[in-house]
A and B are shown apart, each in its own frame.
Chain A
Amino acid sequence: MPSLLQTEGGKKVTLGLDLQGGLHMLLGVKTEEATKSRIKSIAASIKHFAERNDILIDGLTFDETGIKFEVLDSDELTQFDDFFKEIEGSVISKVGTVISLSLTEKEIIRTKKEAVSQAIETIRNRLDQFGLSEPVVAKQGEEKILVQLAGIKTQEEEQRARELISRAAKLELMAVDEDRNARVYNMSDADAAEYGDVILSDAKNSSIKYLVREIPILDGGMLTDASMGFDKNNRPLINFRLNAEGAEIFGDFTGRSVGKRLAVVLDGKVYSAPNINERIGGGSGQISGNYTVMEAKDLAIALRSGALLAPIYLMEKRSVGPSLGADSIKASLVALIGGFVLVIIFMLIYYRLAGVIANIALIANLFILLAVMSLFGATLTLPGMAGIVLTVGMAVDANVIINERIRELIYEGKSMHKAIEEGYANAMRAILDANITTLIASVVLYAYGTGAIKGFAITMSIGILASMLTAILGTHGIYQMLENRISKSKNNKLWFGIKG
């Protein structure tokens, strides 16, 4: 039945990931990393500010909560005031000549929130360019991201998608510390930090190390475009372009540093460190590495959509292969048809023509169920299919209640008109009360259920509502239409399956 609807034009019933195969992931965002990196960048700018204005500071340290440093000349203490004013959400406290800076609670929350929404935006951008149909990227709770990818066919494709999603894609252009780089192999990270440097390893060969200045010249935030290209040996590489500000900084730096090397750093690894031969204007550059065409393409996508402010990690994953989805569809269809045929035959034997009418209502029910689902673009999952199967068994209930009432009234010797009208009237209250309680359970399940289970709540709820509609309005109409014929025939066995 779902396959039948898939071929029609217009809105369709979407199959859930468990039926068509796909990847469902709940990702967590390490938001504390975002705060940490924000504090780190403030520390970097304090240092930069002090150097530019020739203020002597000492003991600049930072941790997750804040920054501390000492101003050597107490006359220069006030010089920082204007500078601090520009840092949003900072709290400054001075004890003697020691200044400490921390972020307000509000600012920390804002930074964390921004990291999450930025991650969602970035992942969405990346997936949009990946070429899958309608990827779902949505926020869940405070710090979780839901990613749903339908129609993933192979393991390789899934792997690619996951790498694309989780890649930090943090591009930095950094200056190699040429004065000390020769000694890099004898240095520890702490030694490097003393000079304001960091040790980074080569992307291709991790035994090659570089000593670079910790504060980058510029980062990926000034990137406007990245695309895949080929070098003269026809190997794939990535071309990138900087915005005007980035191009200026880049131009100035290269002009100042002719003869030195520039490290192209991606996610903490040095991809290349070419010599600067002349001032480079125009603001474009290249990243070369041992890429395959596919890798280069994905990397360009990641760079274009920007870096992740905070790393993400896997909290929940459900991946279903397409073959399993197909098997599930087959199995649940067999159950649906089997149950349907059993119920139809049973109703026919038990109620005769009244059974036929109940069966018409049942079939109408299924059509209404599918129509409503496609109207609202609801997703059909495997539990949803189970809900439809269950609906088949429970939807006849309303008509059973009505038929039993009519039978009773016929036995009491009421006229056919009275039996039908009173039968419906008497059954009405029971049908309403009984179905509303079932509906309450389904609605709760919808509100609290997750993923595929929601699909069950949807089909159950629609099925219940549809069965009330078809029984109360639909079959009542049929009986009213046939009333005269039933009275005339006086054949209660044929019409209601009873003697007399």
Chain B
Amino acid sequence: MEFFRYTRTFNFMGKSKFAMVISIILVLASYAILATKGLNYGVDFAGGTVVQVKYDTSAPINKMRDSLKGNPLFAGASISEFGSPDEVVIRMKTTTGSVTTDIGDETREALKGSGNFEIRRVDIVGPTVGAELKEKGIMSLLLAVLGILVYVAFRFEWRFAVASIVALIHDISIALGMVALFQIDVNLDVLAALLTILGYSLNDTIIVFDRIREGVTGNRLQDLESTINESVTRTLARTTLTSLTTFFVVFTLFMFGGEIIHAFAFTLLVGVVVGTYSSVFVASPILLWFGFDVKNYHNKLAEKAKRTAEKQKMRDQFDQGVV
């Protein structure tokens, strides 16, 4: 079976203006959502308490609300269904510092009499830990981007690196926009998903860039635009295929992986789709717009080859004892 047999080159770069408009709209819309709705930070970053309770029967949410009402410890507690009607999570902004009786134990006491239940999970994150995790999270995103930037600049050329970073920012922005739109709890797992998107989206971009590099080195006469078009077309089958298999597994994870990794799978799902799109329609056009100079690149390569040859010559002479 074949999706795309290479018979002719598609003119991707001709469509790039149109794609850019869509991308800019999507990114701006994401920022608008982030600005208005904002990210819904979960306990990991905001600090607070999450208690997951499973009842024998349907959870008596109203009764639970009544039991928690009045106690300042549970001020601002929200109760919502979690995966099934039997199971709920209670989210609170409050935490306690006592090791022996914590807010989870208090919740258990308060809920007594509301039915037959089991407390399955208690997450308490104190404010200092939350702030620390947030700081670490931002650091990790920045460091990953920086590390990737350096690697790509080292392996390719700085324009490739900048183009791939723009594509990454594009992907992360849209993914965050979707997370904000659906008011998904931003916890450590969402951060992990974002970092995975970084890696994954770049993976796609690099496969295309590698082809462009190959095209540039192999064919001196072709202009950059045609080289990019050809490279994108030739990698299209691979891009589609890998995106599909990745999409399959992320989708099964989203559908069957359980409520706890729902946020993670959702973020990845968005990332896989956007990442695939961006490597074709965002990263490559930017490379073109930055005016990647094919001639200059050739000169540099020639220079490098000359230097290696000279070194080799000297080494040979040294080996033969001429020097």
Residues of chain A at the chain B interface (Cβ within 8 Å): 18, 25-28, 155, 159, 162-163, 165-166, 312-321, 323-324, 327-328, 330-332, 334-335, 338-340, 342-343, 346-347, 349-351, 382-383, 386, 389-390, 392-394, 396-397, 400-401, 404, 407-408, 411, 426, 429-430, 433-442, 444-445, 447-453, 456-457, 460, 497-498
Contact = CB atoms under 8 A, between A and B. Distances in A.
Given A430-B210, A449-B192, A437 B242 contact: no
A401 B242 CA distance: 9
A456 B264 CA distance: 11
- For the complex of A and B, 4 pairs with smallest distance between CB atoms: A331-B258, A339-B249, A393-B249, A438-B199
19 contacts: A162-B100, A166-B100, A313-B99, A317-B124, A318-B123, A321-B118, A321-B120, A321-B121, A332-B257, A332-B258, A335-B249, A335-B253, A397-B242, A434-B206, A437-B202, A449-B140, A449-B188, A453-B189, A497-B2
A393 B248 contact: yes
A323 B253 contact: no
- Binding site secondary structure of chain A: helix
Contact of B199 (A319, A401, A441): A441
B120 A408 contact: no
Contacts of B126: 28, 314-316
B207 interface: yes
B206 A342 contact: no
Size class of the contact patch on chain B: 35 or more
Contacts of B108: 155
A313 B261 CA distance: 30
Given A313-B99, A347-B245, A383-B192, A441 B198 contact: yes
Most A Cβ at <10 Å: residue of B129, B204, B241, B257: B257
Given A315-B97, A390-B268, A435-B203, 11 more contacts: A328-B258, A335-B255, A346-B244, A383-B261, A393-B245, A393-B249, A397-B238, A444-B140, A444-B195, A448-B140, A456-B192
A498 B100 contact: no
A119 to B, nearest CB: 12
Contacts of A331: 256-258
B203 A440 contact: no
Contact of B120 (A323, A394, A498): A323
A26 B242 contact: no
Interface in B167-189: 188-189
A419 B113 CA distance: 73
A400 B238 contact: yes
Interface in B120-163: 120-126, 128-129, 133, 136-137, 139-140, 143-144, 147-148, 151-152, 155
B20 to A, nearest CB: 24
A430 B265 contact: no
Given A314-B124, A334-B256, A448-B139, A440 B151 contact: yes
Contacts, number: 245
A390 B129 contact: no
B137 to A, nearest CB: 7
B121 to A, nearest CB: 5
Given A319-B122, A323-B120, A453 B191 contact: yes
B46 interface: no
B99 A162 contact: yes
Contacts of A436: 151
A157 to B, nearest CB: 14
Nearest to B95: A314
B294 to A, nearest CB: 19
Contacts of A317: 102, 104, 122-124
B97 A313 contact: yes
Contacts of B245: 342-343, 346-347, 393-394, 396-397, 400
A383 B253 CA distance: 11
Nearest to B3: A350
A442 B198 CA distance: 10
Given A313-B98, A314-B124, A438-B202, A401 B238 contact: yes
A349 B1 contact: yes
B119 interface: yes
A444 B206 contact: no
B121 A324 contact: yes
Given A343-B245, A393-B245, A426-B214, A314 B99 contact: yes
A437 to B, nearest CB: 5
B250 interface: yes
Given A349-B1, A390-B246, A338 B151 contact: no
Contacts of A328: 258, 260
B184 to A, nearest CB: 16
Contacts of B206: 430, 433-434, 437
Contact of A437 (B102, B151, B211): B151
A458 to B, nearest CB: 12
Given A320-B120, A448-B143, A453 B258 contact: no
A430 B202 CA distance: 12
B97 A314 contact: yes
A444 B140 CA distance: 6
Contact of B257 (A26, A335, A429, A448): A335
Given A347-B245, A349-B1, A438-B199, A453 B207 contact: no
Contacts of A347: 245
